[in-house]
Structure 1
């Protein structure tokens, strides 16, 4: 289509004659260099679009500005296989998850107008715990490009339970295997933290991600049904929970290592499909324990509704990266001298964090920051001080410096991480031994990865065998 024109969108379903692919990250397709070199953004041509199908009129589920593309209200007594596929997977297929995904009616069924994905714990022939669960997809049945997806669901509660509503591209190989192909996570809830829901996109090489979260002030996502939505447009995605906008992204990329980025908005300019699943265990939630009640391990879905606008403006450009400017003396750390007594619980400048059984507090006073640990926690970031939004530019050299001491001799770990680029390290995790006297510490490094406006300086005090207080002042990150 001509550049700058708007394309008239279908009200029916974009149908693509593709063979069934596996989910991204677990696929076995090989991507040839020749195919990647020939890639053009052609998924948006008239060849991939069909004539309008049935128009939805006076639909009670209609929303302003959109036409209903397809829906499932789960009103029957069994899964509608004209919409959904069962995805069968062995344990450990991805993310070190424990479950086997089956097509059993015990794991996937419709009850009282709700889809139920149920995780079941049994004992295998060797006497070990064995888990089964359900995963369904719309791949090659209800694929679409751009629109609004709304899902009403109720999450299960329990350590190691991990429900998800997410989207993957129909043709995973078009831009390359995960994460180059892209992924849209509309909802993820950890069963041990059911007051918090996450919306995330994954993309790029190296792996990059942008994640937002919504925390309930009352109740949990396991108490009742909540509506999780994403509005996916050519140059922006907006994530909602119960109509509340909590996460907006408009800057992403797809690339093969060592090559230029594919034309924006790749990889999110191709058809995707919807997936629903309930995982057990895995890298993020951790495994179930004795507190997990599998009698109630059910992920319930009331409806899935997908809408499209009648037209989308395809003439989008990638936003210019806004790089944080240093202070007048060249320091990229704001309030590095701790002259201001700021709120350490927000995301402005310094941020103090606790995780995984870490306990403690932090305070700015008398031109220094004091971190008091009550419990060291299970990981290095259990007690953590960070400052984000540090511009890291490929090829530049940087110096980190700070003054520090502790109430007793102890270690801390520092690094410059990449929270939106797969948590890779621009400056590696480095152990620093503190004494009871002020000392100045100085480190230099060269940025070797893709430009990133969101590097993060970290001071990690957790899981170091000590809860001794740590004192900091004169923190600097400067370009050499």
Structure 2
């Protein structure tokens, strides 16, 4: 299938041909009639006029009206990599995991042990016959790469989402050519994600961008949305869309414009001179249903409810439109330029005694509503409460049994902490790895996925000595933190080349006004 990257190349060649002369009238036959070169319109015929879509023209769609998944539009990815997020599924092309019926695409996650390739399909070492990867669920992930790739447009899906602890459906986009480097340097556009719907009242969907530098310099920014009328996305069909134009991306649910991001906020460290990067290259579409992983595990619960499966992600249609006003920039066809829906944040939580303007996160124990979580690329991070006596008494001890990981205190809900002035805490390093390399620490506060975060580098304390840190909240805001919607007020990450064997102790974590 051809790509819908429209370029008026014929016209450009014609203009170049008539514009390269010396400009002398002596080169023109006085009797010759000069005719302007014809303007060649290279847009698809159906895009010449489409008034019903406010300038957007349908250039690609799948209504799933056949008897099978269209192999000229979608290809299955087949692997057991865990998505880089410790997910539990293997993706297959089995008709048990994805099929078309009743004019709908069904993607089903099933509890069953499976094996498959341990690397993603695009990895140069990928072998379809490899069985070194494994998972405890099977599911499906379909993409349009090299069959449907677009730069700018409106990307829309009508779907009913699955539910249950561990469910993670997504409709999203990745770069086709990775022009600025590996993830997330070349960007990621998440049109729709949701986790653990109906668990603990969970009813949010998310729209997010990923960009920035390599971990831990990666960034993600976005917003959550709740469908009006207390409707849960797992109870019925809803329409999810983004409109992507040069320098701007907008998110919609059932026509409500709930979020906008612009090139003033995104960037890639691979191309600092291009303010539009990385979202100025062709991307393709992905549909998948993941199970478990770091994000679902940190929302409402810490595991997977196996009894909730099988679960189905049911898609009515997927449609792609491009803007007839300007195919090169995608500008001129915005569905809404006015005010849009925001979901207000919650009131800030009170400290246990709520008398001194302090929000205590940890003082020998984690304070409600916060609990300790970890993320690792592999291995684990140990967390214990140790009584060291003296003025500190009980402290949190963090042991890194991984080369790459973070630990953090997080709540289920996000709170407005914008009127706090400092984050303060005590920390000491009990042990550094033997091959620590360039030793350092990074503090972060964020909203969890998908909100923006603020990073703050920390000076290393003297070995085995307690150090007190006081970080201005404004510095975190300047680093990208959305302080009005924080559910993760403390993240600590060693930046050693190898974290394995590092031991930290922390105490007295307090946000102060």
TM-score by length of 1: 0.63
Q: Does the aligned pair in 2 maintain the 1:376–1:461 contact within 8 Å?
A: no
- For 2:295, the equivalent position in structure 1 comes to 284
Residues 169-203 of structure 1 deviation map (CA, whole Å, 9 limit, x = unaligned): 1102x111111101110000112455110000111
**Local SS of the residue matching 2:223:** strand
**Local SS of the residue matching 2:230:** coil
Alignment root-mean-square deviation, CA: 4.7
- For 2:225, the equivalent position in structure 1 comes to 214
**Local SS of the residue matching 1:284:** helix
Q: Does the aligned pair in 1 maintain the 2:477–2:483 contact within 8 Å?
A: no
How far is the alpha carbon of 1:94 from its aligned partner? Answer: 2.0
Q: Kindly tell me: are residues 140 and 267 of structure 1, through their superposed partners in 2, closer, same or farther at Cα, counting changes over 3 Å?
A: same
2: CA distance, partners of 1:87 / 1:384: 34
2: CA distance, partners of 1:282 / 1:238: 27
1: CA distance, partners of 2:367 / 2:42: 65
Q: Does 2:187 align with 1:182?
A: yes
2:317 aligns with one of 303, 310, 318: 303
- For 2:496, the equivalent position in structure 1 comes to none
2: CA distance, partners of 1:402 / 1:288: 31
How far is the alpha carbon of 1:204 from its aligned partner? Answer: 1.5
Gaps of 5+ in 1: 1-11, 17-42, 317-344, 354-359, 391-398, 404-413, 431-440, 463-469, 476-480
1: CA distance, partners of 2:371 / 2:61: 44
Q: Does 2:371 align with 1:378?
A: yes
- For 1:63, the equivalent position in structure 2 comes to 53
2: CA distance, partners of 1:189 / 1:80: 26
- For 2:455, the equivalent position in structure 1 comes to 425
2: CA distance, partners of 1:402 / 1:276: 42
Q: Kindly tell me: are residues 381 and 94 of structure 1, through their superposed partners in 2, closer, same or farther at Cα, counting changes over 3 Å?
A: closer
2: CA distance, partners of 1:112 / 1:234: 37
Q: Kindly tell me: are residues 121 and 455 of structure 1, through their superposed partners in 2, closer, same or farther at Cα, counting changes over 3 Å?
A: closer
Q: Does the aligned pair in 2 maintain the 1:207–1:422 contact within 8 Å?
A: no
1: CA distance, partners of 2:487 / 2:150: 44
- For 1:81, the equivalent position in structure 2 comes to 71
- For 1:14, the equivalent position in structure 2 comes to 3
* More deviation, 201-210/85-94: 85-94
Residues 404-434 of structure 1 deviation map (CA, whole Å, 9 limit, x = unaligned): xxxxxxxxxx96635589746316699xxxx
**Local SS of the residue matching 2:294:** coil
How far is the alpha carbon of 1:65 from its aligned partner? Answer: 1.7
2: CA distance, partners of 1:459 / 1:229: 26
How far is the alpha carbon of 1:313 from its aligned partner? Answer: 8.5
- For 2:254, the equivalent position in structure 1 comes to 242
- For 1:229, the equivalent position in structure 2 comes to 241
- For 1:387, the equivalent position in structure 2 comes to 417
2: CA distance, partners of 1:50 / 1:137: 30
Residues 334-386 of structure 1 deviation map (CA, whole Å, 9 limit, x = unaligned): xxxxxxxxxxx955xx9525xxxxxx778977x74677998555322339866
- For 1:159, the equivalent position in structure 2 comes to 165
- For 1:294, the equivalent position in structure 2 comes to 309
2: CA distance, partners of 1:239 / 1:254: 19
- For 2:279, the equivalent position in structure 1 comes to 268
- For 1:97, the equivalent position in structure 2 comes to 87
Q: How does 1:360-371 map to 2 (within 5 A)?
A: 368=357
TM-score by length of 2: 0.59
For the pair shown, the structure with the greater C-alpha radius of gyration is: 2
2: CA distance, partners of 1:74 / 1:178: 31
**Local SS of the residue matching 2:319:** strand
How far is the alpha carbon of 1:275 from its aligned partner? Answer: 0.6
Q: Does the aligned pair in 2 maintain the 1:368–1:471 contact within 8 Å?
A: no
How far is the alpha carbon of 1:62 from its aligned partner? Answer: 4.8
Q: Does the aligned pair in 1 maintain the 2:220–2:453 contact within 8 Å?
A: no
How far is the alpha carbon of 1:294 from its aligned partner? Answer: 1.6
1: CA distance, partners of 2:510 / 2:284: 51
2: CA distance, partners of 1:446 / 1:138: 42
2: CA distance, partners of 1:64 / 1:377: 46
- For 1:191, the equivalent position in structure 2 comes to 196
How far is the alpha carbon of 1:50 from its aligned partner? Answer: 9.2
Q: Kindly tell me: are residues 459 and 208 of structure 1, through their superposed partners in 2, closer, same or farther at Cα, counting changes over 3 Å?
A: closer
1:352 aligns with one of 342, 348, 355: 348
How far is the alpha carbon of 1:158 from its aligned partner? Answer: 1.1
Q: Does the aligned pair in 2 maintain the 1:415–1:429 contact within 8 Å?
A: no
How far is the alpha carbon of 1:312 from its aligned partner? Answer: 3.1
